[in-house]
Amino acid sequence: GNTYTISAKAVILATGGFGDDPQKVKDWAHRDPEGWKSSVPIGKTGDGIIMATKAGAAMGNVSFVQHLGTEGKGIKFLGNLYATSWQPSALWVNCDGNRFSNEDVAFSFAQAANAIYEQPHHYGWSIFDDSQVKYIMEKGVDSGIGVLVPVGQKLPNLQKEIDEAVAVKSDGFKAADSVAQLAKELSVPEANLQKAVDQYNKACEVGYDGEYYKEKAYLRPLNTKKLYAIKLKAYFFSSYGGLNTNRKHQVLDKNKKPIKGLYATGLEVSDMVGPTYSTWSSGHAFGFASYSGRHAALNAIEEMK
Ligand SMILES: Cc1cc2nc3c(=O)[nH]c(=O)nc-3n(C[C@H](O)[C@H](O)[C@H](O)COP(=O)(O)OP(=O)(O)OC[C@H]3O[C@@H](n4cnc5c(N)ncnc54)[C@H](O)[C@@H]3O)c2cc1C
């Protein structure tokens, strides 16, 4: 592309972070980009952060707005099967067939992503049965996906999407008529999966999950004659951070001194969140982006006077 040189008294960086460059995800955040992926890549490749460091900025802490999700042949992003991967009433196992988390962590989508990423090869399986399919189609979802799939929304196409995924032999979705068959489909050790299912069903029966303490309301026993599994993976909506700023949103150098005329906003800014985005204050990423953008502009105008 062309290079333009633009002279300005102040520059406000707002390029939305680096999440769409897998190499930077690896180098800056030390995450395996194969298991930690941008869910909606829109060309945000850390340009603002790179430009700032060339102007003397110190690199700050980086983190993500992460979430659980799925993908695979025949699975539509944000479709009915996708939304089913966010449900707390399933049994989650890793590639060894072992349960690894309380599944109601799905309500806190960022922490759910962490739990999945920490598994061997960074994935897991969400196992549910035909009664859950009926529940989701007729009663609706317990866990929503923000405003995209609100809590309680019925997913009328779920059975159709299941049938389609089975027909195309999806790598992200499996169906089985027994635990043994499911173990084969998922390539997990049968003994481990059987143990996970038995212990889980026992917890459902007594209404107490002594292993991971999932809430009783989501302890629903699995019908082992009609089982389904969706692959669980970790994603992120955006990266968060890269540049340190002060309260005027001026970018700081290694000595924490502001670089004259240089501002950073929104997702470029470090330490708005720790390593994990706080699901319970959802909206603050947008909120901070609008606030910091306006505030940086007001401060830049003041500086130029
Ligand atoms: C699917 C999804 C759902 C989300 N849901 C929520 C939510 O519910 N609540 C919430 O608070 N936040 C949410 N977010 C995060 C929210 O979108 C961001 O926090 C916010 O948009 C950040 O604003 P920003 O200005 O920092 O960057 P962005 O809005 O990402 O804008 C950066 C822009 O810079 C452009 N750009 C990049 N490089 C260059 C370059 N070299 N030259 C020119 N332009 C460039 C990019 O194309 C982009 O348009 C969500 C994000 C996604 C992807």
Based on the domain organization, do 78 and 227 belong to the same domain?
yes
Based on the domain organization, do 56 and 196 belong to the same domain?
no
* 289 C-beta closer than 6 A to ligand 1: yes
* 242 C-beta closer than 6 A to ligand 1: no
Q: For a pocket test of ligand 1, which of 2, 38, 44 has the largest count of ligand atoms closer than 8 A to its C-beta? A: 44
Does 1 have pLDDT greater than 90? no
Q: What is the CATH number of the domain that holds 268?
A: 3.50.50.60
Which of residues 234, 256, 275 is at a domain's end? 234
CA distance 151 to 154: 9
Ligand 1 centroid to Cα of residue 208, in Å, is 42
Residue 282 pLDDT class (50, 70, 90 cuts): confident
Based on the domain organization, do 82 and 196 belong to the same domain?
yes
Q: What pLDDT was estimated at residue 99?
A: 98
Model confidence pLDDT, tens digit, residues 209-243: 999 999 999 999 999 999 999 999 999 999 999 99
Ligand 1 centroid to Cα of residue 205, in Å, is 45
Residue appearing with tokens 């609100």: 150
Based on the domain organization, do 103 and 196 belong to the same domain?
yes
Based on the domain organization, do 96 and 115 belong to the same domain?
yes
Q: What is the CATH number of the domain that holds 159?
A: 3.90.700.10
* 118 C-beta closer than 6 A to ligand 1: no
Does 276 have pLDDT greater than 90? no
Nearest CA to ligand 1 atom 51: 237
What mean pLDDT do residues 254-281 have?
92
Residue 49 placed within a domain: yes
CA distance 206 to 215: 12
Please report, rounded to a whole number, the percentage of residues in the chain having pLDDT higher than 90.
93
Nearest CA to ligand 1 atom 21: 286
Which of residues 234, 266, 295 is at a domain's end? 234
Based on the domain organization, do 80 and 170 belong to the same domain?
yes
* 238 C-beta closer than 6 A to ligand 1: yes
Ligand 1 centroid to Cα of residue 16, in Å, is 5
Ligand 1 centroid to Cα of residue 274, in Å, is 19
Question: What's the maximum distance between 2 C-alpha atoms anywhere in the chain?
Answer: 74
Residue 1 placed within a domain: no
Q: What pLDDT was estimated at residue 70?
A: 98
Ligand 1 atom closest to the CA of 289, numbered from 1 = 23
Domain that holds residue 283: 11-64+239-304
Mean pLDDT of the chain: 96
Residue 3 placed within a domain: no
Ligand 1 atom closest to the CA of 146, numbered from 1 = 8
Ligand 1 atom closest to the CA of 40, numbered from 1 = 53
Based on the domain organization, do 82 and 156 belong to the same domain?
yes
Based on the domain organization, do 78 and 40 belong to the same domain?
no
Ligand 1 centroid to Cα of residue 293, in Å, is 12
Ligand 1 centroid to Cα of residue 135, in Å, is 35
Ligand 1 centroid to Cα of residue 242, in Å, is 14
Residue 47 placed within a domain: yes
Cβ burial of 191 (10 Å; 0-12, 13-18, 19+) is exposed
Based on the domain organization, do 183 and 265 belong to the same domain?
no
AA letter at 108:
S
Which of residues 200, 234, 268 is at a domain's end? 234
Ligand 1 atom closest to the CA of 44, numbered from 1 = 37
Number of domains composing the chain = 2
* 284 C-beta closer than 6 A to ligand 1: yes
CA distance 132 to 142: 11
CA distance 82 to 70: 6
Based on the domain organization, do 167 and 213 belong to the same domain?
yes
Residue 180 placed within a domain: yes
Based on the domain organization, do 226 and 79 belong to the same domain?
yes
Q: What pLDDT was estimated at residue 137?
A: 98
Based on the domain organization, do 230 and 260 belong to the same domain?
no
Q: What pLDDT was estimated at residue 182?
A: 98
Ligand 1 centroid to Cα of residue 181, in Å, is 43
* 47 C-beta closer than 6 A to ligand 1: yes
* 44 C-beta closer than 6 A to ligand 1: yes
* CA-wise closest residue to 101 among 124, 122, 120: 124
Residue 2 placed within a domain: no
Model confidence pLDDT, tens digit, residues 137-185: 999 999 999 889 999 999 999 999 999 999 999 999 999 999 999 999 9
Residue 246 placed within a domain: yes
* CA-wise closest residue to 243 among 28, 32, 5: 28
Residue 145 placed within a domain: yes
* 282 C-beta closer than 6 A to ligand 1: yes
Residue appearing with tokens 């309380």: 102
